Amino acid sequence: MRKLLPTSRATRALTVGAALLSAGAALAPAGTAAADTAPASRHRVDYVALGDSYASAPLVPTQVDPTCLRSDQNYPSLVARARSAALTDVTCSGATTADMTASQTEGVPAQLDALDRGTDLVTLTVGGNDIGFSTVLGTCVQLMSGDPAGAPCQTHFAGTGADQITDAIDQTGPKVAAVLRSVHQRAPHARVVVVGYPDLFPDDGVGCTSKTVPLAAGDFAWLRDKEKELNAMLARQARHGGARYVNTYAPTVGHDLCKPTGERWIETFAPETPAAPVHPNAVGESTMAGAVESALVRLGRH
Protein backbone atom coordinates (compact mmCIF):
# COMPACT_ATOMS: atom_id res chain seq x y z
CA MET A 1 0.00 0.00 0.00
CA ARG A 2 1.32 3.42 -0.91
CA LYS A 3 2.35 5.34 2.22
CA LEU A 4 0.24 8.43 2.85
CA LEU A 5 1.77 11.77 3.71
CA PRO A 6 0.82 12.98 7.21
CA THR A 7 -0.04 16.48 6.07
CA SER A 8 -3.23 17.01 8.09
CA ARG A 9 -5.41 15.59 10.82
CA ALA A 10 -7.67 13.99 8.21
CA THR A 11 -4.75 12.47 6.35
CA ARG A 12 -3.30 11.08 9.58
CA ALA A 13 -6.67 9.58 10.45
CA LEU A 14 -6.89 7.93 7.04
CA THR A 15 -3.38 6.56 7.46
CA VAL A 16 -4.33 5.02 10.78
CA GLY A 17 -7.57 3.69 9.35
CA ALA A 18 -5.85 2.12 6.36
CA ALA A 19 -3.26 0.49 8.61
CA LEU A 20 -5.99 -0.94 10.81
CA LEU A 21 -7.99 -2.27 7.90
CA SER A 22 -5.28 -3.45 5.53
CA ALA A 23 -4.49 -6.81 7.08
CA GLY A 24 -6.47 -7.12 10.27
CA ALA A 25 -3.63 -5.53 12.33
CA ALA A 26 -2.84 -8.58 14.47
CA LEU A 27 -3.39 -7.16 17.94
CA ALA A 28 -4.58 -10.32 19.68
CA PRO A 29 -5.68 -13.84 18.72
CA ALA A 30 -8.88 -13.70 16.74
CA GLY A 31 -11.90 -15.64 17.84
CA THR A 32 -14.95 -16.80 15.94
CA ALA A 33 -17.90 -14.85 17.26
CA ALA A 34 -20.09 -16.78 19.63
CA ALA A 35 -23.59 -17.72 18.61
CA ASP A 36 -26.38 -15.33 19.61
CA THR A 37 -28.13 -16.07 22.87
CA ALA A 38 -31.68 -15.53 21.64
CA PRO A 39 -34.31 -18.10 22.71
CA ALA A 40 -34.39 -21.27 20.66
CA SER A 41 -37.14 -21.63 18.08
CA ARG A 42 -38.49 -24.64 16.22
CA HIS A 43 -35.76 -24.17 13.65
CA ARG A 44 -33.07 -21.73 14.60
CA VAL A 45 -31.36 -20.35 11.51
CA ASP A 46 -27.64 -21.13 11.29
CA TYR A 47 -26.24 -17.83 9.94
CA VAL A 48 -22.64 -17.26 8.83
CA ALA A 49 -21.46 -13.70 8.07
CA LEU A 50 -18.52 -13.25 5.69
CA GLY A 51 -16.80 -10.08 4.56
CA ASP A 52 -14.61 -7.07 5.12
CA SER A 53 -14.65 -3.97 7.33
CA TYR A 54 -18.00 -2.68 6.04
CA ALA A 55 -19.47 -5.82 7.57
CA SER A 56 -17.24 -6.06 10.65
CA ALA A 57 -17.73 -2.37 11.63
CA PRO A 58 -14.26 -1.39 12.91
CA LEU A 59 -14.17 0.94 15.95
CA VAL A 60 -17.96 0.93 16.29
CA PRO A 61 -18.76 0.09 19.92
CA THR A 62 -18.61 -2.54 21.24
CA GLN A 63 -15.57 -4.17 19.64
CA VAL A 64 -15.58 -7.91 20.31
CA ASP A 65 -12.59 -9.03 18.21
CA PRO A 66 -9.52 -6.76 18.30
CA THR A 67 -7.75 -8.58 15.48
CA CYS A 68 -10.57 -8.25 12.95
CA LEU A 69 -11.95 -5.03 14.48
CA ARG A 70 -15.41 -6.56 14.70
CA SER A 71 -18.34 -4.94 16.49
CA ASP A 72 -21.34 -6.57 18.12
CA GLN A 73 -23.36 -3.74 16.52
CA ASN A 74 -22.37 -4.59 12.95
CA TYR A 75 -25.08 -5.44 10.47
CA PRO A 76 -24.67 -9.24 10.83
CA SER A 77 -25.17 -9.04 14.60
CA LEU A 78 -28.26 -6.87 14.21
CA VAL A 79 -29.75 -9.17 11.56
CA ALA A 80 -29.05 -12.21 13.72
CA ARG A 81 -30.78 -10.67 16.71
CA ALA A 82 -33.79 -9.65 14.62
CA ARG A 83 -34.11 -13.23 13.34
CA SER A 84 -33.13 -15.04 16.56
CA ALA A 85 -30.47 -16.70 14.42
CA ALA A 86 -27.37 -18.56 15.59
CA LEU A 87 -24.63 -16.30 14.24
CA THR A 88 -21.08 -17.24 13.36
CA ASP A 89 -19.51 -13.91 12.43
CA VAL A 90 -16.10 -14.20 10.74
CA THR A 91 -16.11 -10.79 9.06
CA CYS A 92 -12.70 -9.16 9.28
CA SER A 93 -11.32 -5.72 8.47
CA GLY A 94 -8.98 -5.77 5.50
CA ALA A 95 -10.44 -8.97 4.03
CA THR A 96 -10.26 -9.60 0.30
CA THR A 97 -11.75 -12.37 -1.80
CA ALA A 98 -8.49 -14.30 -1.25
CA ASP A 99 -9.17 -14.33 2.50
CA MET A 100 -12.34 -16.29 1.95
CA THR A 101 -10.30 -19.40 1.15
CA ALA A 102 -6.96 -18.70 2.87
CA SER A 103 -5.88 -17.43 6.27
CA GLN A 104 -5.85 -13.63 6.38
CA THR A 105 -3.30 -13.41 9.18
CA GLU A 106 -2.13 -15.51 12.11
CA GLY A 107 -5.11 -16.67 14.12
CA VAL A 108 -7.61 -15.71 11.43
CA PRO A 109 -8.63 -18.78 9.40
CA ALA A 110 -10.15 -18.73 5.95
CA GLN A 111 -13.63 -17.31 6.31
CA LEU A 112 -15.27 -20.07 4.28
CA ASP A 113 -14.09 -22.58 6.90
CA ALA A 114 -17.07 -21.38 8.96
CA LEU A 115 -19.51 -22.91 6.47
CA ASP A 116 -20.90 -26.43 6.43
CA ARG A 117 -23.89 -28.34 5.11
CA GLY A 118 -25.98 -27.16 8.04
CA THR A 119 -25.59 -23.46 7.23
CA ASP A 120 -28.95 -21.84 6.42
CA LEU A 121 -28.00 -18.24 5.66
CA VAL A 122 -24.82 -16.55 4.40
CA THR A 123 -24.17 -12.84 3.95
CA LEU A 124 -21.13 -11.57 2.06
CA THR A 125 -19.66 -8.08 1.69
CA VAL A 126 -16.36 -8.10 -0.19
CA GLY A 127 -14.56 -6.45 -3.11
CA GLY A 128 -13.54 -3.03 -1.81
CA ASN A 129 -10.12 -4.21 -0.66
CA ASP A 130 -9.58 -6.15 -3.88
CA ILE A 131 -9.71 -2.89 -5.82
CA GLY A 132 -7.46 -1.13 -3.28
CA PHE A 133 -10.10 1.34 -2.16
CA SER A 134 -8.20 2.67 0.87
CA THR A 135 -5.09 3.23 -1.26
CA VAL A 136 -7.15 5.08 -3.86
CA LEU A 137 -8.57 7.37 -1.18
CA GLY A 138 -5.10 8.00 0.22
CA THR A 139 -3.88 9.03 -3.22
CA CYS A 140 -6.88 11.33 -3.65
CA VAL A 141 -6.06 13.05 -0.34
CA GLN A 142 -2.44 13.58 -1.36
CA LEU A 143 -3.36 15.03 -4.75
CA MET A 144 -6.06 17.40 -3.52
CA SER A 145 -3.72 20.25 -2.55
CA GLY A 146 -2.34 20.51 -6.07
CA ASP A 147 -5.74 21.12 -7.68
CA PRO A 148 -8.48 21.58 -5.05
CA ALA A 149 -11.06 22.82 -7.57
CA GLY A 150 -10.30 20.14 -10.15
CA ALA A 151 -10.32 16.35 -10.31
CA PRO A 152 -6.67 15.38 -9.79
CA CYS A 153 -7.45 11.90 -8.52
CA GLN A 154 -9.59 11.09 -11.54
CA THR A 155 -6.82 12.40 -13.77
CA HIS A 156 -4.28 10.26 -11.93
CA PHE A 157 -6.23 7.03 -12.29
CA ALA A 158 -8.08 7.63 -15.55
CA GLY A 159 -6.27 10.43 -17.35
CA THR A 160 -4.65 8.17 -19.95
CA GLY A 161 -8.00 6.97 -21.27
CA ALA A 162 -8.16 3.69 -19.36
CA ASP A 163 -9.68 3.94 -15.89
CA GLN A 164 -7.52 1.86 -13.53
CA ILE A 165 -10.29 1.53 -10.97
CA THR A 166 -12.84 0.34 -13.52
CA ASP A 167 -10.26 -2.20 -14.66
CA ALA A 168 -9.72 -3.35 -11.07
CA ILE A 169 -13.47 -3.75 -10.57
CA ASP A 170 -13.69 -5.82 -13.75
CA GLN A 171 -10.83 -8.02 -12.55
CA THR A 172 -12.52 -8.51 -9.17
CA GLY A 173 -15.76 -9.78 -10.70
CA PRO A 174 -14.49 -13.31 -11.43
CA LYS A 175 -12.99 -13.49 -7.93
CA VAL A 176 -16.38 -12.74 -6.38
CA ALA A 177 -17.95 -15.32 -8.67
CA ALA A 178 -15.44 -17.92 -7.46
CA VAL A 179 -16.24 -17.10 -3.83
CA LEU A 180 -19.96 -17.59 -4.48
CA ARG A 181 -19.31 -20.97 -6.11
CA SER A 182 -17.29 -22.04 -3.09
CA VAL A 183 -20.03 -20.85 -0.72
CA HIS A 184 -22.62 -22.97 -2.54
CA GLN A 185 -20.31 -25.99 -2.52
CA ARG A 186 -19.67 -25.78 1.22
CA ALA A 187 -23.19 -24.75 2.22
CA PRO A 188 -25.42 -26.22 -0.49
CA HIS A 189 -28.67 -25.55 1.36
CA ALA A 190 -27.94 -21.97 2.37
CA ARG A 191 -29.62 -18.85 1.17
CA VAL A 192 -26.78 -16.57 0.04
CA VAL A 193 -26.99 -12.78 0.20
CA VAL A 194 -24.42 -10.39 -1.28
CA VAL A 195 -24.57 -7.09 0.59
CA GLY A 196 -23.39 -4.01 -1.31
CA TYR A 197 -21.63 -0.91 -0.02
CA PRO A 198 -23.52 2.11 1.40
CA ASP A 199 -23.49 5.62 -0.06
CA LEU A 200 -20.11 7.08 0.90
CA PHE A 201 -20.06 10.28 -1.18
CA PRO A 202 -22.80 12.79 -2.05
CA ASP A 203 -25.08 11.13 -4.58
CA ASP A 204 -25.61 14.43 -6.39
CA GLY A 205 -21.86 14.66 -7.00
CA VAL A 206 -21.53 17.97 -5.16
CA GLY A 207 -18.67 17.65 -2.71
CA CYS A 208 -17.84 19.32 0.56
CA THR A 209 -14.75 21.20 1.61
CA SER A 210 -13.38 20.71 5.10
CA LYS A 211 -10.29 19.53 6.92
CA THR A 212 -12.07 16.26 7.65
CA VAL A 213 -12.94 15.57 4.00
CA PRO A 214 -9.81 16.61 2.06
CA LEU A 215 -10.88 15.74 -1.47
CA ALA A 216 -10.80 17.92 -4.59
CA ALA A 217 -14.17 19.23 -5.71
CA GLY A 218 -14.19 17.35 -8.99
CA ASP A 219 -13.24 13.99 -7.50
CA PHE A 220 -16.43 13.49 -5.50
CA ALA A 221 -18.53 12.60 -8.55
CA TRP A 222 -15.82 10.29 -9.90
CA LEU A 223 -15.48 8.46 -6.58
CA ARG A 224 -19.27 8.15 -6.37
CA ASP A 225 -19.31 6.61 -9.84
CA LYS A 226 -16.56 4.13 -8.95
CA GLU A 227 -18.53 2.97 -5.93
CA LYS A 228 -21.63 2.56 -8.07
CA GLU A 229 -19.59 0.49 -10.53
CA LEU A 230 -18.39 -1.72 -7.70
CA ASN A 231 -21.93 -2.25 -6.44
CA ALA A 232 -23.20 -2.94 -9.96
CA MET A 233 -20.52 -5.61 -10.38
CA LEU A 234 -21.53 -7.21 -7.06
CA ALA A 235 -25.18 -7.20 -8.14
CA ARG A 236 -24.29 -8.92 -11.43
CA GLN A 237 -22.20 -11.55 -9.71
CA ALA A 238 -24.97 -12.21 -7.20
CA ARG A 239 -27.53 -12.58 -9.97
CA HIS A 240 -25.35 -14.98 -11.97
CA GLY A 241 -24.07 -16.78 -8.87
CA GLY A 242 -27.34 -17.91 -7.30
CA ALA A 243 -27.39 -15.22 -4.62
CA ARG A 244 -29.61 -12.29 -3.65
CA TYR A 245 -28.10 -8.80 -3.87
CA VAL A 246 -28.98 -6.27 -1.15
CA ASN A 247 -28.71 -2.61 -2.11
CA THR A 248 -27.49 -0.65 0.91
CA TYR A 249 -26.61 2.37 -1.22
CA ALA A 250 -30.17 3.60 -1.81
CA PRO A 251 -31.29 3.68 1.85
CA THR A 252 -28.16 5.59 2.87
CA VAL A 253 -28.37 8.34 0.21
CA GLY A 254 -28.39 11.72 1.94
CA HIS A 255 -26.32 10.49 4.85
CA ASP A 256 -22.86 10.43 3.25
CA LEU A 257 -19.59 11.64 4.76
CA CYS A 258 -20.32 15.25 3.77
CA LYS A 259 -23.39 15.53 5.99
CA PRO A 260 -23.22 17.10 9.47
CA THR A 261 -22.99 15.10 12.66
CA GLY A 262 -26.35 13.54 13.40
CA GLU A 263 -27.25 13.23 9.72
CA ARG A 264 -24.00 11.51 8.74
CA TRP A 265 -24.06 7.70 8.72
CA ILE A 266 -20.66 7.45 7.00
CA GLU A 267 -17.82 8.97 8.97
CA THR A 268 -15.30 11.47 7.59
CA PHE A 269 -11.57 10.90 7.17
CA ALA A 270 -11.26 12.10 10.78
CA PRO A 271 -14.28 10.51 12.50
CA GLU A 272 -16.20 12.44 15.13
CA THR A 273 -18.15 9.39 16.31
CA PRO A 274 -16.71 5.92 16.88
CA ALA A 275 -16.07 4.35 13.48
CA ALA A 276 -13.21 3.90 11.04
CA PRO A 277 -12.55 6.67 8.50
CA VAL A 278 -14.96 6.57 5.52
CA HIS A 279 -16.91 3.69 7.11
CA PRO A 280 -20.42 3.36 8.51
CA ASN A 281 -21.00 4.43 12.08
CA ALA A 282 -23.49 2.60 14.29
CA VAL A 283 -26.48 4.18 12.54
CA GLY A 284 -25.03 3.28 9.16
CA GLU A 285 -24.60 -0.36 10.20
CA SER A 286 -28.16 -0.38 11.56
CA THR A 287 -29.44 0.93 8.23
CA MET A 288 -27.51 -1.76 6.37
CA ALA A 289 -29.05 -4.35 8.69
CA GLY A 290 -32.49 -3.00 7.91
CA ALA A 291 -31.87 -3.38 4.18
CA VAL A 292 -30.73 -6.98 4.65
CA GLU A 293 -33.69 -7.80 6.88
CA SER A 294 -36.13 -6.29 4.36
CA ALA A 295 -34.64 -8.43 1.59
CA LEU A 296 -34.91 -11.56 3.73
CA VAL A 297 -38.55 -10.80 4.54
CA ARG A 298 -39.28 -10.42 0.83
CA LEU A 299 -37.73 -13.81 0.20
CA GLY A 300 -40.32 -15.14 2.62
CA ARG A 301 -38.32 -17.93 4.21
CA HIS A 302 -37.11 -18.61 7.76
CA distance 233 to 227: 10
User: Please, what is the average pLDDT of the chain?
Assistant: 89
Is 31 inside any structural domain? yes
Is 4 inside any structural domain? no
- For residue 159, give its domain range: 9-299
Is 3 inside any structural domain? no
279 is catalytic: yes
Is 1 inside any structural domain? no
Q: Read off the pLDDT of residues 131-141 as tens digits, 9 standing for 90 and up.
A: 999 999 999 99
Q: Which of 56, 93, 255, 279 is catalytic?
A: 279
pLDDT of the residue at 33: 44
pLDDT-above-70 percentage for the chain? 85
53 is catalytic: yes
Q: Return the closest-CA partner of residue 52 out of 115, 123, 150.
A: 123
Q: Read off the pLDDT of residues 50-93 as tens digits, 9 standing for 90 and up.
A: 999 999 999 999 999 999 999 999 999 999 999 999 999 999 99
pLDDT of the residue at 221: 98
What is the pLDDT confidence band of residue 30, given thresholds at 50, 70 and 90?
Answer: very low
pLDDT of the residue at 210: 87
> Which residues touch 63 (CB under 8 Å, ≥6 apart)?
69, 70, 71
Is 2 inside any structural domain? no
Rg (CA), the chain: 18
Quick check: 110 pLDDT over 80?
Answer: yes
CA distance 96 to 238: 17
Q: Read off the pLDDT of residues 150-190 as tens digits, 9 standing for 90 and up.
A: 999 999 999 988 999 999 999 999 999 999 999 999 999 99
Is 43 inside any structural domain? yes
Is 202 inside any structural domain? yes
Q: Return the closest-CA partner of residue 69 out of 92, 103, 51.
A: 92
Q: Which of 41, 43, 53, 255 is catalytic?
A: 53
Is 131 inside any structural domain? yes
Q: What CATH number is given to the structural domain containing 252?
A: 3.40.50.1110
pLDDT of the residue at 35: 41
Q: Read off the pLDDT of residues 202-217 as tens digits, 9 standing for 90 and up.
A: 999 999 988 999 999 9
Number of domains in the chain: 1
Question: CA dist 170 to 86, 166, 174, 175, Å?
Answer: 35, 6, 8, 10
pLDDT of the residue at 94: 98
Q: Read off the pLDDT of residues 33-60 as tens digits, 9 standing for 90 and up.
A: 434 434 444 679 999 999 999 999 999 9
Q: Is the peptide bond before 62 cis (omega within 30 degrees of 0)?
A: yes
Do residues 262 and 163 touch, judged by C-beta distance below 8 A? no
CA distance 266 to 261: 10
pLDDT of the residue at 11: 45
